[in-house]
């Protein structure tokens, strides 16, 4: 199962080696992270980032190994935005000359970069950004300026204290005309003493949700007061401004930007499976250790994992972790495919690629955030302790529902693309890729589910057809309702809640389809394919059960067939139960990376909980600070009362 999860034996070996390298290094300690001040936490982040770079250089790690090492350090910091956003932005939007100048500096950490797009007043609406970049032909410079309070850059990770440079997104103005949002490389701090350069005001935006968690990241605020930069620091791969101030489009098509977008979103989906699998690993292991009730005649109590209520809440989340992993692997292939087609100037699949990447980002991150919180509840009271690892995991993960596109906004973008695809069916234009099922519109709009027994739901054809029919009928229904509106945009606005649900149905179809395809591939290892089949069925039928109203309202299945699916789910949980711990062990996480006393590999939970409690700073003294000032006077009835 480790190979099935990791993708290859090589991936298992490299991941294991890097995880153990991090776990064995005392600099990467993280068990005290929720107990220290934010200043100390940030300094600790700087120390770990520097040490990680030192080890990468000393050991001459490959790019793959270095990426895994940073992942297992498991502490958000400026490095994430430097590699994840700053470098890709220059790669995707910079000319060859700009890449030759800036990338070597970034690769060697001679500069530290961030991605300054979001502003105090605008996030999802990128076209509404207010920062300006006005070209001055007299000096051959752009003047970067923050004209309003709401134009302040707000949230960029790494900006607050660490970054020396940023890719800043601003409204390009030349010859009195506004040409919209473009990227500019701007130096923010001195490379000698790290002080802000003239005209630049910047700092950290303050503490964030949770203890530890994302508070290790210096999310920043940035304002410009007529800051001048050379003209050649505009990212000019797609367009440029000449020395005379003329705005010129390059020969490079703007569609190339889709490649970077797909790359970033496939990374987010992959991160969803990692975060969800960590939470599920903790909950499954602890549920196997924890015993409550069920004792008869003085015998042992029942393992919590044996209760059907625990299984019905936990095993779908286990199946979801695998589902998100496999659809994430498929997105890596999609990124390669999109890149190759873009280089060949084939833009036929771009809309479909945008729809599935945006939708998968939205669905997987929302589901993962909810699932981490559910895993905390599944661990009972102990799950609320910081030492369980779950509160911090939730706090550090939940921003994913907002960054790189608010999930609701992204799903509405998916819905627009689906509406367009449906409208083109009558013209004979066949949908491609993950929307190809829409080409079967006549059949799917009238087909009847053939399930007669619970076991009939084990047929992947029956499952996939039900999900295809549900998605298509919801999409067509939305299109018909919008068509009845006086104006299309008004109809879209009025039906936006329905459009969200239709988009979710489409994305869930993609996840189920990719899971089925994974199961149908050859899987090395005895019994692996059988376990994957069980998890695939659990995921699909859990989604069907959770969204039963959709399937019934669209006539895809009957109430009886819905009941049969639920009946089969119970049987599948019983089949997953004997291997549940092995299925989370397959994630191959070290105790250091998991960061949970409840999810320990050795199962020695209760001594670890007891020991961890004494590490809290509050227990450094037996008698608490404040006893003589407040507790003793109260207990001795010596409180000084003011006379009214």
Compute the mean pLDDT over every residue in the chain, rounded to the nearest whole number.
94
Average pLDDT over residues 126-148: 96
- Residue 558 assigned as binding residue: no
CATH assignment at residue 174: 2.40.110.10
Comparing 97-101, 330-334, 495-499, 539-543, the range with the smallest average pLDDT is 330-334
User: Is pLDDT larger for residue 252 or for residue 136?
Assistant: 136
Asked whether residue 359 is domain-assigned, the answer is: yes
For 316, the token pair is: 């779908």
Checking if the pLDDT of 438 tops 70, the result is yes
User: Are 277 and 245 found together in one domain?
Assistant: no
Asked whether residue 181 is domain-assigned, the answer is: yes
Asked whether residue 288 is domain-assigned, the answer is: yes
What percent of the chain shows pLDDT beyond 90? 86
Checking if the pLDDT of 345 tops 90, the result is no
Indicate the Cα dihedral angle 331, 336, 340, 346, nearest 10°: 0
Asked whether residue 452 is domain-assigned, the answer is: no
State whether the Cα torsion 510-278-319-401 is positive or negative: negative
User: Are 193 and 262 found together in one domain?
Assistant: no
Average pLDDT over residues 31-44: 95
Average pLDDT over residues 31-37: 93
Checking if the pLDDT of 260 tops 80, the result is no
Work out the burial of residue 100: count CB atoms within 10 Å of its CB; fewer than 13 is exposed, 13-18 middle, 19 or more buried: exposed
User: Are 409 and 533 found together in one domain?
Assistant: yes
Work out the burial of residue 181: count CB atoms within 10 Å of its CB; fewer than 13 is exposed, 13-18 middle, 19 or more buried: middle
pTM (2 decimals)?
A: 0.94
Contact 225, 148 (CB under 8 A): no
- Residue 157 assigned as binding residue: yes
Contact 277, 587 (CB under 8 A): yes
Query: Of 193, 220, 252, which residue is a domain's last?
Result: 252
Under 8 Å CB-to-CB from 233, ≥6 apart: which residues?
142, 184, 185, 186
Tens digit of each residue's pLDDT (9 = 90 or more) over 275-305: 999 999 999 999 999 999 987 777 889 999 9
Tens digit of each residue's pLDDT (9 = 90 or more) over 74-109: 999 999 999 999 999 999 899 999 999 999 999 999
Comparing 333-342, 469-478, 587-596, 606-615, the range with the smallest average pLDDT is 333-342
* CA nearest neighbour of 213 among 369, 24, 325, 27: 369
> Rounded to whole angstroms, how far apart are CA atoms 127 and 124?
9
User: Are 61 and 190 found together in one domain?
Assistant: no
Checking if the pLDDT of 274 tops 90, the result is yes
Checking if the pLDDT of 337 tops 90, the result is no
pLDDT band at 247; cut points 50, 70, 90: very high
Asked whether residue 293 is domain-assigned, the answer is: yes
Tens digit of each residue's pLDDT (9 = 90 or more) over 51-62: 999 999 999 999
- Other beta carbons within 10 angstroms of residue 376's beta carbon come to 23
- Other beta carbons within 10 angstroms of residue 330's beta carbon come to 22
Checking if the pLDDT of 220 tops 90, the result is yes
Average pLDDT over residues 593-597: 97
Contact 535, 582 (CB under 8 A): no
DSSP codes of every residue in 319-367:
HHHHHHHHHHHHHHHHHHHHHHHHHTT--TTHHHHHHHHHHHHHHHHHH
Asked whether residue 607 is domain-assigned, the answer is: no
User: Are 244 and 271 found together in one domain?
Assistant: no
> Rounded to whole angstroms, how far apart are CA atoms 75 and 54?
17
Looking up tokens 């930069």 gives: 229
User: Are 51 and 191 found together in one domain?
Assistant: no
User: Are 326 and 390 found together in one domain?
Assistant: yes
User: Are 87 and 70 found together in one domain?
Assistant: no
Q: What pLDDT does 644 receive?
A: 66
Asked whether residue 631 is domain-assigned, the answer is: no
CATH assignment at residue 306: 1.20.140.10
Torsion-angle region of 194 (φ positive above 0: left; ψ -120 to 50: alpha; else: beta): left
Checking if the pLDDT of 344 tops 90, the result is no
Q: Which residues pair with 141 in a beta bridge?
A: 136, 230
> Rounded to whole angstroms, how far apart are CA atoms 182 and 196?
23
Q: What range does the domain containing 426 cover?
A: 257-435+458-583
Domain count, the chain: 3
Q: What pLDDT does 254 receive?
A: 72
User: Are 277 and 323 found together in one domain?
Assistant: yes
Q: What pLDDT does 151 receive?
A: 97
Annotated catalytic sites, by residue?
404
Query: Of 236, 252, 268, which residue is a domain's last?
Result: 252
Average pLDDT over residues 311-324: 98
Cα→Cα distances 90→96, 103, 165, 358, Å = 10, 7, 12, 22
Checking if the pLDDT of 218 tops 90, the result is yes
DSSP 131: -
pLDDT band at 20; cut points 50, 70, 90: very high
User: Is pLDDT larger for residue 643 or for residue 22?
Assistant: 22
Asked whether residue 612 is domain-assigned, the answer is: no
User: Are 47 and 166 found together in one domain?
Assistant: no
Comparing 190-199, 418-427, 465-474, the range with the smallest average pLDDT is 418-427
> Rounded to whole angstroms, how far apart are CA atoms 66 and 55?
9
> Rounded to whole angstroms, how far apart are CA atoms 189 and 110?
13
Q: What pLDDT does 123 receive?
A: 85
Checking if the pLDDT of 551 tops 90, the result is yes
User: Are 168 and 277 found together in one domain?
Assistant: no
Query: Of 193, 224, 252, which residue is a domain's last?
Result: 252
> Rounded to whole angstroms, how far apart are CA atoms 1 and 3?
5
Tens digit of each residue's pLDDT (9 = 90 or more) over 522-534: 888 889 999 999 9
What percent of the chain shows pLDDT beyond 70? 100
CATH assignment at residue 17: 1.10.540.10
User: Are 349 and 365 found together in one domain?
Assistant: yes
């Amino acid at each position: 199962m480790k190979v099935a999860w990791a993708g290859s034996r090589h991936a298992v070996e490299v991941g294991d080696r890097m995880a153990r390298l991090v776990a064995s290094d005392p600099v990467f300690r993280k068990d005290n992270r929720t107990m220290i001040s934010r200043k100390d936490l940030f300094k600790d982040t700087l120390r770990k980032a520097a040490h990680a770079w030192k080890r990468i250089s000393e050991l001459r790690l490959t790019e793959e190994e270095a990426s895994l090492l940073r992942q297992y350090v498991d502490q958000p910091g400026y490095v994430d935005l430097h590699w994840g956003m700053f470098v890709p932005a220059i790669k995707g939007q910079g000319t060859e000359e700009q890449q030759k100048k800036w990338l070597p500096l970034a690769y060697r950490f001679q500069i530290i970069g961030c991605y300054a797009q979001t502003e105090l007043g605008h996030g999802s609406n990128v076209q509404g950004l207010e920062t300006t970049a006005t070209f001055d032909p007299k000096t051959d410079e752009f003047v970067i300026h923050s004209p309003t309070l709401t134009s302040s850059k707000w949230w960029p990770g790494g900006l607050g204290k660490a970054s020396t440079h940023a890719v800043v997104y601003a409204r390009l103005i030349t010859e009195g005309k506004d040409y919209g949002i473009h990227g500019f490389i701007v130096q923010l701090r001195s490379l000698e003493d790290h002080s802000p350069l003239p005209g630049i005001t910047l700092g950290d935006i303050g503490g964030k949700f949770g203890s530890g968690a994302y508070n290790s990241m210096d999310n920043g605020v940035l304002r410009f007061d007529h800051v001048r930069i050379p003209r050649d620091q505009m990212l000019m791969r797609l367009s440029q401004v000449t020395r005379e101030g003329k705005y010129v489009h390059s020969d490079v098509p703007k569609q190339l930007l889709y490649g970077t977008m797909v790359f970033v979103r496939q990374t987010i989906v992959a991160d969803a499976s990692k975060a969800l699998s960590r939470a599920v690993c903790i909950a499954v292991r602890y549920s196997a250790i924890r015993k409550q009730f069920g004792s008869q005649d003085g015998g042992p109590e029942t393992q919590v994992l044996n209760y059907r209520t625990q299984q019905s809440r936990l095993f779908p989340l286990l199946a979801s972790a695998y589902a998100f992993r496999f659809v994430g692997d498929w997105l890596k292939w999609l990124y390669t495919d999109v890149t190759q087609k873009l280089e060949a100037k084939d833009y036929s699949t771009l809309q479909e690629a945008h729809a599935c990447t945006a939708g998968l980002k939205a669905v997987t991150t929302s589901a993962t955030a909810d699932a981490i919180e559910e895993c905390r509840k599944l661990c009972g009271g102990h799950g609320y302790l910081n030492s369980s690892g779950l509160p911090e995991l939730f706090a550090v993960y939940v921003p994913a529902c907002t960054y790189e596109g608010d999930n609701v906004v992204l799903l509405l973008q998916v819905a627009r693309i689906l509406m367009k695809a449906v409208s083109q069916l009558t013209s004979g234009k066949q949908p491609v890729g993950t929307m190809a099922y829409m080409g079967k519109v006549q059949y799917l709009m009238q087909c009847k589910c053939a399930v007669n027994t619970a076991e009939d739901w084990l047929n992947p054809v029956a499952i996939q057809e039900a999900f295809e029919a549900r998605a298509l009928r919801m999409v067509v229904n939305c299109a018909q309702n919008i068509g009845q509106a006086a104006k299309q945009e008004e109809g879209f606005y009025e039906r936006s809640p329905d459009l969200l649900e239709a988009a979710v149905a489409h994305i869930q179809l993609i996840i189920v389809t990719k899971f089925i395809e994974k199961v149908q591939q050859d899987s090395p290892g005895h019994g692996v394919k059988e376990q994957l089949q069980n998890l695939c069925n659990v995921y699909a039928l859990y989604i069907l059960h959770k969204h039963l109203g959709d399937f019934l309202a669209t006539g895809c299945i009957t109430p009886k067939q819905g009941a049969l699916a639920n009946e089969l789910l119970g049987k599948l949980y019983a089949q997953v139960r004997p291997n549940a711990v092995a299925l989370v062990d397959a994630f191959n996480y070290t105790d250091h990376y998991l960061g949970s006393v409840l999810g320990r590999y050795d199962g020695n939970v209760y001594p670890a909980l007891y020991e961890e409690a004494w590490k809290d700073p509050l227990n450094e003294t037996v008698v608490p600070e404040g006893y003589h000032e407040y507790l003793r006077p109260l207990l001795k009835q010596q409180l000084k009362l003011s006379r009214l």
